[in-house]
Amino acid sequence: MDMMVHAAAHVPETGKAAILLSRARAATAAVLPRLAGIEPDRLVSLAVELPEALEETACAGDTRWRAPGGELRLDALGGAVEFSGADAAERFRAARERWLCLGDERAAPLAFFTLPPATETPAPRLRVPGVLLRRDAGGTHLVLSARRGVETPAALAETWLGMLAAFLAPAGVAAGPSRILACAAEPAAEAWCARVERTRQAIAAGRFAKAVLARRLRASLSRRADIPALTRRLAAMHPDCHVIALPHGKARVVAATPERLAIKQGEAIVCHALAGTARRHGGAADDARAAAALLASAKERREHALVVDAIAARMAGFCAAVAPVPEPAILALRHVQHLWTTLAGELRPGVDILEAARLLHPTPAVLGQPAAAAAGWLAELGEQRDGLYTGVAGWIDRAGDGDAVVVLRSACIEDDAAVLWAGAGIMADSDPAAELAETDLKLATMLEALGTAL
């Protein structure tokens, strides 16, 4: 065990990090005999329950997930195993069937996954993190994962503790809050409004019913962005959103997204439809009037119905039963409020959250309707999306359960540069100026958080 102690020697020997590391050392020592009997090329995880006192342990992870209301918090680092390409889902499913979890069985190990933007072919990428700190109603757990190779059990344990040491390494003191120095929109407001008008005319000509146009905003920051501070600020400002941060090439994608594509537990799945937008106001009475006007708007209700009907039709393809669709409600966020419908279904055997997300994505809320005609129109306009904007991010556990969200109200950040995205659903009776204002409201989510970080 001397090697394992050495691997974690640079972590401070006092405080929460030291306690966590000590528990991990004891847990890895306890499972060494079992590790010896595990055949090579098998994915293995070790789950360790942690006391409440360690719940707020600082960490230097590359991935963060904050579900609304604090129902689930995930912090992770590294990739024990990764899958990408056309057959990624199949290879991950095969690995999942042989995935062994040691230690506390209540803490299900998991993989993070992404699907690309709505304008691209939805090929998944999956990554099982080497270190995962999971906090939910079941408590706080540390999960260490690796692919079993030909190394000795002691060497595998050393790898786990080395990854944990990197995860717990102090991130350093920030130089001060960031400021936005300059912004440039692509396309500019006038050109984007012209695109909206062209799209309206194409809809009137019967080419499609709806298309979603996006705007990109490039921002220069006064210093390198502090991603942990940014996610903390977003979670505090937008408690009804999923706040996520994950690697994307050399950059990090950060989002406070209001749109949960689907959540699966057992055979039950719930999908969310979000379309139709109104501004939030300063007072409760004004907000209530705006919400009532949103519910009464023929244009917004038609846009919302397109999304609901498309999701319900797709759910029928992989669900044994779909519950009746309720009337839309209002989801009130910091800057805007949306028409919001939840759809529930009973899954057919063998459908996991990744497969459900792949079959649902992209919805008309982020692409248009019909999908092929809308995609063709966006290609004709030359619209391209990057930074995972209108893609999907999610997690999936060994049982195939998990959560998936649409990447909206997002920024792709590298050092002191950020690319922000926002879009609007264009219908035949859309007003270009109003749609432009809607994108400004959506961009405010990230602009406000980037302007001054906690």
Please identify every residue annotated as catalytic.
Answer: 210, 259
Instruction: Identify the CA nearest to 139 among candidates 55, 64, 62.
Output: 55
Report the Cα–Cα distance between both ends of the chain, in Å, rounded.
40
Instruction: Report d(CA 127, CA 248) in Å as an integer.
Output: 12
What are the angstrom distances between the C-alpha of 140 and each of 2, 55, 137, 181, 300?
A: 28, 6, 8, 40, 42
Tokens of 26: 């004891």
Burial track 159-186 (b if 16+ CB lie within 10 A, e otherwise) = bbbbbbbbbbbeeeeeeeebebeeeebe
423: its two tokens? 């879009």
The candidate with the shortest Cα–Cα distance to 178, out of 446, 403, 399, is: 446
